Amino acid sequence: MSSGDYRLPDALFGYQLPDAMHEPESQPQGPAPGDQRQRMRSLRELGTFALPAVRSPLQTLTIVGQIEGHMVLPSQNKTTKYEHIIPQLVALEQHPQVHGVLIILNTVGGDVEAGLAIAEMIASLSKPTVSLVLGGGHSIGVPIAVAAQYSFIAETASMTIHPIRLNGLVIGVPQTFEYLEKMQDRVVKFVVKHSRIGEARFRDLMFRTGELARDIGTVLIGKEAVECGLIDEVGGIGAATAKLKQMAEAYKQKREAPVQ
Amino acid sequence: MIIWTPMQLELVLAGGEKETRPEREVVVNEVPAVIRETGFGEGEIVRLLSTDAFDYLRPELAPGTRVVLHGDET
């Protein structure tokens, strides 16, 4: 039996722990040579990635363009796919050397289900998370931005809050409206739960008329998002990294503290 | 599926019927990446899928870099 046969069971879990994960943090690390084939096998057969060997305890997730969900969008769209983000979040949650996650957002929204799934996963990570909205965090980008434990927005970045509209086949029955209302409630409840904004205020921003040319709703720019309680602070990459480092340090100390 | 975006839906869904070269997810130098096939057995890096920001500083992984595909990536 070749050594390749022994490796097979690892692939069942969809990823393989690099050997370096069990070593002290100070040592340089990297998976043993020859793992490549095994990693590709897990990628090919299960659609997940090998758990990467980390060099920094602070890892970064970038969520850009359209958030792509159940349907593959035409290729001229820049998309962030949930099948990429979700396994990465699972890996970050499990990796013992990861002490914090920085989420960089520059998104125009996208699939509601996929966006909420990512937001729920970020919110339920047990590790410190900081989000930074650069450029834009529109529509479904809003719940993702507030999902982190602490959120930043760049001074010139904007967030569009507007109602969910139906696309695709619309049947003119009351159930259609009720379904849409339910989808919207899921988003509103998530945002209210994970930020300082109240439900009435958020709905007010969402249904405001006279601000957007083609829609109802509001565009919040930089400090406006902080003033209404949606985002915690105006800042850039320096402020976000400093905050995450501080949170990661506290997390590390708490984790290493002996159980009393 | 509901797409919630301030972009016009016509723009989001435009070009769906256009044929483009296939993109594939492979591992390049231990880093998961999306590549676009440019010919038989070769491609170029479109973007990385790593969460380690330092991977993005590696010049051999810059977008547009040509990669040769071995049999075991497929």
Owner of token pair 């970045």: A157
Structure-token pair, residue A232: 């915690």
* DSSP character string of chain B: --EE-SS-HHHHHTTTT---PPEEEEEETTEEEEEEEEETTEEEEEEE--S-GGGGG-GGGSTT-EEEPPGGG-
Residue in A with minimal Cα distance to B46: A78
Distance separating alpha carbons of residues A179 and A26, to the nearest angstrom: 53
The shortest C-alpha distance from A92 to chain B (Å) reads 9
Q: Which helix (H) or strand (E) holds A131?
A: strand A129-137
Using only the alpha carbons of chain B, give its radius of gyration.
Answer: 15
A165-169: Cβ within 8 A, 24+ apart = A165/B2, A165/B4, A166/B2, A167/B2, A167/B3, A167/B9, A168/B1, A168/B2
The shortest C-alpha distance from A260 to chain B (Å) reads 34
Phi/psi zone of residue A95: left (φ > 0), alpha (ψ -120 to 50 degrees), beta?
Answer: beta
The shortest C-alpha distance from A227 to chain B (Å) reads 22
Q: Decide: A63 and A105 in contact? Cβ < 8 Å.
A: yes
Instruction: Quick: pLDDT tens for A47-92.
Output: 555 555 667 899 999 999 999 988 888 888 889 998 899 999 999 9
> Which amino acid, A26?
S
Instruction: Indicate whether B28 pLDDT > 70.
Output: yes
Q: Which helix (H) or strand (E) holds A119?
A: helix A112-123
- Beta carbons of A138 and B5 less than 8 Å apart: yes
Poorest-confidence range of A57-61, A185-189, A238-242, B18-22? B18-22
- Beta carbons of B3 and A92 less than 8 Å apart: no
The pLDDT value recorded for residue A169 is 73
User: Is the ipTM here above 0.90?
Assistant: no
Chain A residues with beta carbon closer than 8 angstroms to that of B72: 36-37, 40
Least Cα distance to B47 among B59, B35, B31 occurs for: B35
Using only the alpha carbons of chain A, give its radius of gyration.
Answer: 21
Q: Decide: B7 and B13 in contact? Cβ < 8 Å.
A: no
Residue in B with minimal Cα distance to A160: B6
The pLDDT value recorded for residue A29 is 46
The pLDDT value recorded for residue B29 is 86
A139 carries an active-site annotation = yes
Partner B contacted by A76 (CB < 8 A): yes
The pLDDT value recorded for residue A15 is 41
